[in-house]
Amino acid sequence: MKSLWSNKEAKDLSGVDLVVYTSRIIGANTNLVLWGGGNSSIKIVGQDHKGDECRILWIKGSGSDMRTIASKNFTPLRLDDLLPLATREKMSDEEMVAYQMKSVLDPKAPKPSIETLLHAFLPATHIYHTHADAICALTDTRNSRKLIHKVFGPSVALVDYVRPGFLLSKAVFEVYQNHPDLKAIILDKHGLITWGETAKAAYEMTIQMVSTAERFATAQMKGKAVLGPLQVKPLPLKKRQAAVAAIAPVLRGELSRNKRMVLLHEDASDLLKFIGSEKAKKVTQVGPFTPDHLMHTKPWPLLIECKNPDDPVALAEAVRKGCVQYRKRSTDYFNQYKPEGVTMLDPNPRIILIPGIGMFTTGKDVRAASIVRDLYLHTFPVIEAATAIDAYRSIPIEEICQFEYWPMENFKLSLLPPEKTFSRKIVLITGAAGAIGAAIAKAFIAEGACVILTDIDLKKAEELAKNLNQQSAGNHAAAIKMDVSDERDVHRAFEAATRIFGGLDIFISNAGIARTASVENLSLSDWERSLAVNATGHFLTSQAALKIMKTQGLGGAVVVVSTKNVLSPGKDFGAYSASKAAQSQLTKIMAIENAADGIRVNMVMPDAIFEGSGLWSKAIREERAKAHKIPVEEIEDFYAKRNLLQTKIQGSDVAEAVLFLSSDRAAKTTGAILPVDGGIKDAFPR
Ligand code: ZN
């Protein structure tokens, strides 16, 4: 492992700034810590609030991520308050946390790490704790004590597994007191602690220890088919993509019975080999490589047993069966090992391994599912290395349950902000790059949805997705090219869409074109193109969307962006109004046909949206101005004045109506028309 230490960068740093620097270079290496794992501290002499000199332990706050940590994520505690605890026999977690909070010198600081006392008791100035992959490959074996001694010699000690907290802090301190010349301490089935009088020494010790472990593990794996022969070969890319698109909604439906989940798919070639190997069935079911992963990953992944993953019927059956068995196993495990007074968490898996196809990870949003994915991308190589060395072992199952249901760990989850209205929902919008589509997409993203932007203009859709992701920092927008009038393209686009977040909950049929001419002068090609996009396009995309929703079995919502023209047509809009009328009629049929499946289908009917609209081209503006006998620059005001509220309609107004009809607030509404036209008497729905 390469050291990332830079004398140049560290030279002017001291105190908390220095530990921020070192924490970040630790966090930058995903083989050391991932997503909030590990912790770091520094002991300095400073001042308390009275201005009196005191020794201060600055430690990483609970839940912050070393990769991006800043000084505000560290908590100062009065060290001399903490040290007397080393002589106590026992202390409950709650007592310890309350005691620590009274020693915090800054009431605005985050809650200090659960491993605070461990950092306090060890006397070194700088301390780093990581869950290094290579170290865990050694500890997660049957004879880890012997092995650690063999690899590192007497200057490194192994502390038996104890759940983080008071007892672990004491156990580490006792080992240290008995051997003050130790270089580092390894926590069995958990991770590594290094220290030093300088930040560099403590950091370099981590790198040195991990490098030694890496060399040992690599040598053990050399020339061995560690996990036995490949039993299910990875499907070729195209077949695999089709299989992923077909199975994702089945899986999502199974996993979303309590709450909807977002699914991410991963098929790195090493992972595919691991999942398809002979021993995968056994080694994947042992437990996490460090307990910290549990709250994200659950104790085990679900490994689907299916010899023919390219047979969609067989695979769907295997997935359903696997999910049922997993839930039963989770329930049995909970009932057998649960700590007092806890309620059962979601019994569904977070990691689903499908031989030949890859891994799905789940979460309430993309971030949560990415965390699970990243953790398992580091777990399977640890399992493989530990198996090569000896045999993969995790903490005992009782301890797994104690940790999974540990209030201290679940407290971290309670710090998360409340979920937004469309959190966990997946939305697909057609014609998303246009003014109305973009306004709808923006509104959904702001309310927490995952949004797939489809448009015939991929560049514009990609640009929009990029902007939305930058604004929301959630990677919840994705762009796909789709020509709604082309059956094959619709099929391809919906397949691609399903692979992105795993399914579909809300479909917004918004793509449309307007060609104007009197019937007498209308060209056949304009007539046919209008029907192809506004009517056939709506039919093809709705059909594809409904299929995914029905496969999931979770209900859903369809909102169609219709037009006031359907109820109150205007001259020269023959191709537009007739094709939109076909769309409208089809929408009503969809409401009738899909209600039994919990899929609501509604329409919004906007009128005259000029702002950024592709429909209102210069030519149409001029043509309409002429038709109404007004100057072209007055066209927007003219349309505003003809509605009852005398107001201009904007994309965001349509978005409001679309979001309402898509939300649970409209749970009892289907087959409805919601005008967004400022009030036009002739277009009142009836
Ligand atoms: Zn830890």
Residue indicated by tokens 């060609």: 515
Q: Can you give the three-state secondary structure of 487-554, one letter per residue?
A: HHHHHHHHHHHHHHHCCCCEEEECCCCCCCECCCCCCHHHHHHHHHHHHHHHHHHHHHHHHHHHHHCC
Kindly tell me if the per-residue pLDDT of 80 is higher than 80: yes
Looking at the domain 426-609+650-677, which fold is it? Answer: Rossmann fold (3.40.50)
∠ CA 589-510-543, nearest 5°, is 45
User: CB-based burial of residue 107 (10 Å sphere; 0-12 exposed, 13-18 middle, 19+ buried)?
Assistant: exposed
Kindly tell me if the per-residue pLDDT of 267 is higher than 80: yes
For residue 451, list its beta bridge partners: 427, 477
What tokens does 292 get? 């910290």
∠ CA 168-408-373, nearest 5°, is 95
Q: What is the pLDDT of residue 77?
A: 95
Q: Which H or E element spans position 336?
A: helix 312-337
Those residues whose C-beta lies under 8 Å from the C-beta of residue 48, and which sit 6 or more positions away, are 54, 78, 105
Region 202-219: mean pLDDT is: 95
Region 247-272: mean pLDDT is: 95
Q: What is the pLDDT of residue 575?
A: 94
How is 138-151 classified by DSSP, letter by letter? Answer: HHSSTTHHHHHHHH
Q: What is the pLDDT of residue 603?
A: 97
CATH 3.40.225.10 fits 7-221, yes or no: yes
Pick the CATH number of 237-414 from 1.20.1290.10, 1.10.10.10, 3.40.50.1220, 3.40.225.10: 3.40.225.10
Q: Can you give the three-state secondary structure of 91-122, one letter per residue?
A: CCHHHHHHHHHHHECCCCCCCECCCHHHHHHC
What tokens does 42 get? 């520094």
Q: Where are the domains of the chain?
A: 7-221, 237-414, 426-609+650-677
What is the strand order of the sheet 477-481 is part of? Answer: 477-481, 450-455, 426-429, 506-509, 556-561, 599-606, 673-676
Kindly tell me if the per-residue pLDDT of 148 is higher than 90: yes
Find the 291 Cα to ligand 1 centroid distance in Å: 8
Kindly tell me if the per-residue pLDDT of 280 is higher than 70: yes
Kindly tell me if the per-residue pLDDT of 613 is higher than 90: no
- Same CATH topology for 7-221 and 426-609+650-677: the answer is no
Q: What is the pLDDT of residue 144?
A: 94
Q: What is the pLDDT of residue 143?
A: 92
Q: Sorting pLDDT into bands at 50, 70 and 90, what band is 409?
A: low
Those residues whose C-beta lies under 8 Å from the C-beta of residue 90, and which sit 6 or more positions away, are 166
Q: Sorting pLDDT into bands at 50, 70 and 90, what band is 607?
A: confident
**Residue 451, SS3?**
strand
Find the 390 Cα to ligand 1 centroid distance in Å: 23
Q: What is the pLDDT of residue 438?
A: 95
Are 114 and 100 spatial neighbours (Cβ–Cβ below 8 Å)? no
Find the 129 Cα to ligand 1 centroid distance in Å: 7
Region 121-142: mean pLDDT is: 95
Find the 304 Cα to ligand 1 centroid distance in Å: 30
User: CB-based burial of residue 180 (10 Å sphere; 0-12 exposed, 13-18 middle, 19+ buried)?
Assistant: exposed
User: CB-based burial of residue 459 (10 Å sphere; 0-12 exposed, 13-18 middle, 19+ buried)?
Assistant: exposed
Q: What is the pLDDT of residue 242?
A: 95
Residue indicated by tokens 């790490």: 113
Q: Tens of pLDDT along 81-120? A: 999 999 998 998 889 999 999 999 999 999 888 899 999 9
The torsion angles phi and psi of 643, rounded to 5 degrees, stand at: -95, 160
Q: What is the pLDDT of residue 416?
A: 73
Q: What is the pLDDT of residue 401?
A: 93
Q: Sorting pLDDT into bands at 50, 70 and 90, what band is 472?
A: confident
What tokens does 162 get? 């104890």
Catalytic residue among 161, 405, 576, 639: 576
Find the 216 Cα to ligand 1 centroid distance in Å: 22
Kindly tell me if the per-residue pLDDT of 535 is higher than 70: yes
Q: Which H or E element spans position 358?
A: strand 358-363
Q: Tens of pLDDT along 449-464? A: 999 999 999 999 999 9
Nearest alpha-carbon partner for 165 in 124, 195, 197, 121: 121
pLDDT higher for 224 or 20? 20
What is the strand order of the sheet 191-196 is part of? Answer: 74-78, 53-60, 39-47, 126-130, 191-196, 184-187, 156-159
Q: Sorting pLDDT into bands at 50, 70 and 90, what band is 417?
A: confident
pLDDT higher for 302 or 471? 302
372-403 burial by CB neighbour count: b if 16+ within 10 A, else e? bbbbbbbbbbbbbbbbbbbebbbbeeebbbbb
| Distance, C-alpha 316 to centroid of its chain | 24
Find the 137 Cα to ligand 1 centroid distance in Å: 15
**Residue 609, SS3?**
strand
| Distance, C-alpha 48 to centroid of its chain | 41
Q: What is the pLDDT of residue 155?
A: 94
Question: CB neighbours (10 Å) of residue 473?
Answer: 8
Kindly tell me if the per-residue pLDDT of 124 is higher than 80: yes
Are 100 and 116 spatial neighbours (Cβ–Cβ below 8 Å)? yes
Q: Sorting pLDDT into bands at 50, 70 and 90, what band is 410?
A: low
C-alpha distances in Å from residue 155, one per residue of 3, 133, 148, 175, 511: 21, 21, 10, 12, 68
Find the 45 Cα to ligand 1 centroid distance in Å: 26
How is 371-385 classified by DSSP, letter by letter? Answer: HHHHHHHHHHHHHHH
Kindly tell me if the per-residue pLDDT of 674 is higher than 80: yes
Region 253-273: mean pLDDT is: 95
What tokens does 381 get? 């190589």
Query: Of all residues in the chain, what percent are helix, strand and coil, respectively (each to 5)?
Result: 50, 15, 35
Region 253-275: mean pLDDT is: 95
Find the 193 Cα to ligand 1 centroid distance in Å: 9
pTM of the model: 0.92
Q: Sorting pLDDT into bands at 50, 70 and 90, what band is 614?
A: low
Annotated active-site residue 576? The verdict is yes
Q: Tens of pLDDT along 477-486? A: 999 999 999 9
Find the 163 Cα to ligand 1 centroid distance in Å: 9
Kindly tell me if the per-residue pLDDT of 612 is higher than 70: no
| Distance, C-alpha 301 to centroid of its chain | 17
Q: What is the pLDDT of residue 197?
A: 92
Q: Tens of pLDDT along 553-596? A: 999 999 999 999 999 998 889 999 999 999 999 999 999 999 99
C-alpha distances in Å from residue 446, one per residue of 428, 441, 450, 488, 676: 15, 9, 10, 32, 21
Find the 398 Cα to ligand 1 centroid distance in Å: 18
Kindly tell me if the per-residue pLDDT of 412 is higher than 70: no
Q: Tens of pLDDT along 158-201? A: 999 998 889 999 999 999 999 989 999 999 999 999 999 999 99
Find the 290 Cα to ligand 1 centroid distance in Å: 7
- How far apart, in whole angstroms, are the C-alpha atoms of residue 678 and residue 680? 7
Percent of the chain beyond pLDDT 70? 98
User: CB-based burial of residue 153 (10 Å sphere; 0-12 exposed, 13-18 middle, 19+ buried)?
Assistant: exposed
Q: What is the pLDDT of residue 618?
A: 79
